[in-house]
Amino acid sequence: MESDDDTDHKEVGIQQKVKKYETKKSMNLFKKAKKIIPTGASSLMRTSSWDPYPLYIKSGKGTRIWDVDGNEYIDFLMAFGPIINGHANEKINGAVRKFLRNGSLFGAPSELEYKLAKEFKKFVTTQDMVIFALSGSDATFNALRIARAATGKDMILKFEGHYHGLHDYAAVSVEAPPPVSGLRWFPKSLPYSAGIPPEVMDTVVVASWNDLESLTKILKIRGNEIAAIITEPIMANSTVITPEGDYLKAVRELADEYNILLIFDEVITGFRVGPGGAQKLYGVTPDLSTWAKALGNGYPISAISGKKEYMELIGNGVGFGGTYFSSPISLVAANANLKLLEADDFAAYSHLGRITRRLGRGIEEICDNLNENIYVNYETGVLSFVFTDQRKITNYRESVNMDWNKYKGIQHKMLQRGIYYHPDGAERLPPSVAHTDEDVDKFLVAFEESLKEYNREN
């Protein structure tokens, strides 16, 4: 590893304890929950891929979490990305507790919303206006509605493997099994869920990401019908896949050519990869953007931002609202969260970038020493690794060519060493500002031991 990554994990001398973590309470809770809650939890990703049952987490502090059986783990899932400043952050929670003395929800405008909008603009200088909602799905749904209203067109274009929430217009080709997914340059639009009307599917066109040939050909055919192109600027739901070269700039140019609004879904990348999100990182300004996860450090809040001419359509023909949109509790938390990230000229991102690089390079080094085929990709605050012979992964179809069983098997062994992350190989590891070099060292020691143990057994 390079010198800016400080101590090589092999020199730390950490002895990772391997013990049998008893999780009987989690098992019993899962059995009981499934009798009255479909799948046992109110979000499928909390239970899917966890075999034979998920862990029930009771508490967290900083980078540590504890399950209902009392087992302690270093958390590298961080609630799938929202926890940017660590669990139970005292400055954030303290601000919320202080506010709660005066109430919780009023159904009226709040000065807090104006303050958060001003704070938001310190980070996201590329967007003129911002409005707040509750979840990432709320944000992408409303952004698409604005784009349709602005252009007078009904169709949208999304990319294979990109996740923009679970509303009908987003739940298309999130997964695309190769036998039925169509041509690489012109993928078929496939429903991600039962219950999506075919009329909705007919309004969603799908292209291959990081593939200008695919996008260019499709726009020549359907471009005049498309209201919006929506994309994750960094793919982060089918492993972490960064854009190739000037790909995003070329997408911007094509959108302009066909009078299409470009939407960046920064629900994951926003307030995580840098102060201005991926759009600042790559120097490409979309017409509209969506934000959520790391905005609230675990408190439910999302945002839609964009150019003034499009944002001002809200209330001028475009409806928008919800009882819990811009909840004062979440506004207080988000304000406190962004203040922490802004401190000392956004110094938190330098630390987060270094921690992410150290983790990624450490994984690569271990696998190189063990002659293990692996592909690691990362940007500040987001990282994934997959066991594969591929030298590089640039799109969804390449990302699925991995050893899923090995990933899950090693994740299980990592749990026994006190390291927590999701067992689905497509998911990302999102380090937080709270993670330390010691946390990374412990991950890397556990990873090397788990990999060796898995290979011995298989």
- As annotated, the active-site residues are 163, 265, 293
**Whole-Å CA distances, 199 to 190, 196, 226, 349, 382:** 13, 8, 15, 44, 36
Q: Omega into 423 within 30° of 0, i.e. cis?
A: no
Q: Are the beta carbons of 233 and 248 closer than 8 angstroms?
A: yes
Beta bridge partners of 376: 385
**Sign of the dihedral defined by the CA atoms of residues 255, 256, 257, 261, in that order:** positive
Biggest alpha carbon–alpha carbon distance for the chain: 65
How far apart are alpha carbons 5 and 437 in whole angstroms? 9
Phi and psi dihedrals of 395, rounded to 5? -155, 175
Which of 63, 142, 445, 71 lies closest to 313, judged by CA?
Answer: 142
Strand partners, 57: 67
DSSP letters, 232-298, are -SSB-SSS-BPPPTTHHHHHHHHHHHTT-EEEEEETTTTTTSSTTHHHHHHT---SEEEE-GGGTTT
Provide the residue type at 258 as one letter: Y
- The token pair at 199 is 């009329």
The pair of structure tokens assigned to 211 is 């593939």
Strand positions, DSSP E, 87-150: 129-133
d(CA 61, CA 83): 11
Residues 56 and 441: their CA atoms lie apart, in Å, by 26
